[in-house]
Each structure stands twice: as structure tokens, then as C-alpha cells.
Structure 1
């Protein structure tokens, strides 16, 4: 595999593949397809992929001591791949009818941050929450928007990044006292003819890699928000990315095929597949939720 050249490694045809997570203890890449209520697994050593049925439309997954913490619809729970059993952990009680969880990630302190949104993608009624290791839920002070995407942090944990996908903006917040967000600012925009910012990851150098829905590319931004590198992919709907493999220098990229016309699908036969991009830049290990 040549550096910075995307390669399809799992032609899974997901409607909405997203939330890739690398498990270093297993040497496996996990991601979900919420539209079909599926969990996917890829083993780079063998090249094999496997699919699991889920009891909920999980939009976000995270590592948690040998299990997968997953969030979808209006609940968070555990899924044990070895037994294929799911255990509900918490249910959100006060969400508006039709809302669902869309984005999330683990913070440096081991808490799980996630966002809800209008499932019809019409009204700005999103909300952010912090699931602490003791299973308590705390709201985060983030302004409601239509589609929240991305939940990742700078290497030192002092900056939180998220996306206002509809407005084509990536936002940054300062993180104070563990979970108080201040100094909201526009980190960068993708409004100059590019796509819509979706899932992201931060590498070991503090640069943000963002997947562009309808942009057909992954973009690496400096900590100041300037474009450092853009990598084109042969599919348009890029949804998320994370670093994996033993050296954390393979960028795994999830994609979608939902909403594409028959003509677009003919032109993008690998839409919905998992891609891998070898880089000369190391990522950072996926943080694990530290509760039980």
C-alpha cells in the first residue's frame, strides 16, 4: 500500500458506515451501520470482515474493557462481541420525540461525550451529554444545532472539537475543569465548494483529520485550522476516520451509500465500504470509557 493512497479493504456496502474504532488488544477495526442496525468488524491480518446484528440502531461505539460501549436512538449500552449480548446502560428520559443520538467519543478523563439531534434533520434541537464513569449523566453547554458530528480532543485534552455539519463549520472549545466548555469558536469551515464536515480524529501531532460528506475527501488541519493535506477518495460520502494497526499509521475511513442515485452508485461501486490509507503520521490510541 502506497502512502496516502486510499485502498478499499472491506467492500461492505454500508448504507451509513460510521464511528470507526481501533481495538489494539484485538488488532481489529470496528464500526457501525445504524440504518441497518449492524456492527462491522475488520481484521487487517486476514483481510476478513464480519457483520453482527444489533438490537438498536447504534450510531456511535467506543471501547470499554473488552466490550463495546454503544449509543443509538436514545440509549447507551454494552455489546459483548464474544456472546453477541447487549445490555442497556442508560436511557435518555427528556429528549424531544424523534430525537436520536448521532455523534460521540471518549474524553481524556474516561467519560463518554455524545450528542442527540432531530432525526428528521430539520430543527436545531441537538443536545450534548457527558456520561461519567459512575454512570451519571451531565448536560454540556453546547448550543443546539441541526446535525452535530465529531467528538474529539486535542492531545492534551484542553480543546474539544465538534462539527456543525449543516453550516459546514468545525467548532473548537476550550475545556476547563474537566467538562466546562468555554471560548466557542469556528476552527475552520468547508463552505468554499467542499463537502460537509462529518467524523474526525486527532493525530499525535495535534492535527485534526476530518471526513467530508459529499466532499469525497479526508482533510488534515493544523491546530490553527489551516489545511495541511487533502486526500481524495473514489466515493463521495465520507463519514468518519480513525488510526489503527500496530504503529497507528493506517487511517481507516468509513463511507456511506445512502441517498445516492442509481447513476451515482454506478459511478461509485465502493460507496459504503471501509478504506485504509497508510500515512507517515501516527495517530493516537482510542480512549476507553472507564466506567462499568
Structure 2
């Protein structure tokens, strides 16, 4: 099945990332990492709003009416109503050249996220787990160049992540509560698709929708790693996605224009925009930091 999404917000982000659906507000939030901006889209009106951030945030999560975010080498809370930011923790052990990248909320309510070399030259990206009691601990996973995808199966027993440079979508067995991950497997290799796996989202059937950077597409992977659906985009660099709207059947997709030449941008002018497409299988309700899902 092939689907074509429409551009709903031509924001021209350099590196759009971290889409987050807020059910209580009915808003879609996302960031432009390189420009240190937070964007908001209201699907009821089509209106957008942009906020200046004190850090280059890369991933977002719901937290007690505010937004938990990781950016640069720290974790903090942002209140869009007051535009106030509060730093919670710093990543003191991280190399100065590293920054945070993708992240997500685990079934137990902890915040998982990764780091990467901002220059993309050294494989020194690490994985972390941050709990509601302020505990920050590294996850025992190999260092990679670019950490992407922090998703869990509906029952929480499987953790999905990506080694983007190696073009591999990975799965691990996950122990809820302890955060222990074991039994590394390659769910899918994206080399033949000419794309690099980036951000992902899991639907209610347990399938993983994954963005393929430089391939202008998103693929839906079954738990066995088979591709059963494909979305083609008017932008070559999709970065991440999430489910939204009341029925969780709208797939919102962020994109980037970073690294594209002027001729490429002339031919793909919607690069960096927010896209949306209706799907027939709903996503999972977004998890909130500090709240375990029964």
C-alpha cells in the first residue's frame, strides 16, 4: 500500500525533529534542532506558532502539563505558557562535541534518549535512561555514530532503536522496570532502500513506522521485519513521526533541509516542512514522563 502525505506546515526547518502529540491540547509539537526553535501546529485551525529555546532541543516528552526536553548535553522542562525553561540534569560525562538526539518514554515512565557526535565523525553516541526521581543512568548498549528511534512494543517487551549510519533497525528484549535490554537482533537493513533509518513510531498492531533519511519515504515494519506499507514524501529527508488527532490515525512527519544543495532545495522546496497523512491503523497514546502505563 502506497500513501502520499500532504504538507500541513511549510516551516522550512533546517533539522525538524522530535514530533510530540499532546492529547489534552490537541497540538502537535516539534523542534528545529539547528535553530533552537520549538514549533506548534493546531490541526483544527491549521495555525502554527514558533518559540525560541535556550538550548538546541532534539527530543520532547509530555510532563505534567509542560514539555520535558533533551538538548545539547542536558535535560530540562519547558513551559510554553510562560516560555520559561528549567534545567534538570547535565550530561557531565559526555564529550564536548556530543549533543542529544532522539528519545522516548518507556512503559515504566522513564525517559530514554541518546547522544551523538554533532559533527558525525566519531562513533561516540551513548544511550541513557532518566527516571522521575532524578536518576540518570547509562544503558548498556554499544556506542554508535547517530542514535535514533526509542520505541517500545505495545506490551513493552521489545525495545527498538536504530544505528543510522550502519543502516540497521535493531530490536532488543526489554525488562520493564529495570530497563535491562538483551538479545540484540537486526530487525531490518535499509541499505537496499537507499535510506538511513531515523525516527520511528509504533502503532496499535505492534508495527514500527520508520523514516528513511535520503530515501523520501517511510516504511511500516512488522514485528518480523517485513515491509507491508510505504509512504512517499515530497521531501527527501524525513526525520521522525508520531500519531495524532483524537483517533490517533493521523501520522505527523517532520523533515529536514540540512545538507541539501540549492538545486536540491529548488526541486524539493517543501523540505523541512511538517507533513501529515491519514492511516487505517491507529497509533498508541503518547506516554508521559513519570507515569507507568498499566
Counterparts of 1:81-160 in structure 2, within 5 Å, are 81-160=80-159
Question: Is 1:231–2:206 an aligned residue pair?
Answer: no
On the 8 A contact 2:3/2:232 being kept in 1, the answer is no
1:32: Cα distance to partner?
A: 0.3
Residue deviations 1:160-199 (CA, integer Å, cap 9, x gap): 0000000100110001253001001101010114210000
Q: Which residue of 2 aligns with 1:253?
A: 253
1:103: Cα distance to partner?
A: 1.3
Q: Which residue of 2 aligns with 1:18?
A: 17
Please list every run of 5 or more consecutive structure 1 residues that lacks an aligned counterpart in the other structure. Answer: none
Q: Which residue of 1 aligns with 2:263?
A: 263
Q: Which residue of 2 aligns with 1:283?
A: 283
On the 8 A contact 1:160/1:175 being kept in 2, the answer is yes
On the 8 A contact 1:5/1:278 being kept in 2, the answer is no
Secondary structure of the 2:264 match is helix
Q: Which residue of 2 aligns with 1:218?
A: 218
Secondary structure of the 2:3 match is coil
Q: Which residue of 2 aligns with 1:58?
A: 57
CA distance in 2, matches of 1:145, 1:222: 24
CA distance in 2, matches of 1:254, 1:177: 29
Secondary structure of the 1:142 match is coil
CA distance in 2, matches of 1:41, 1:177: 32
Aligned length: 289
1:10: Cα distance to partner?
A: 0.3
CA distance in 2, matches of 1:199, 1:193: 16
CA distance in 1, matches of 2:239, 2:154: 22
TM-score by length of 2: 0.97
CA distance in 2, matches of 1:225, 1:194: 17
Please list every run of 5 or more consecutive structure 2 residues that lacks an aligned counterpart in the other structure. Answer: none
Secondary structure of the 2:253 match is strand
Q: Which residue of 1 aligns with 2:79?
A: 80
1:258: Cα distance to partner?
A: 0.8
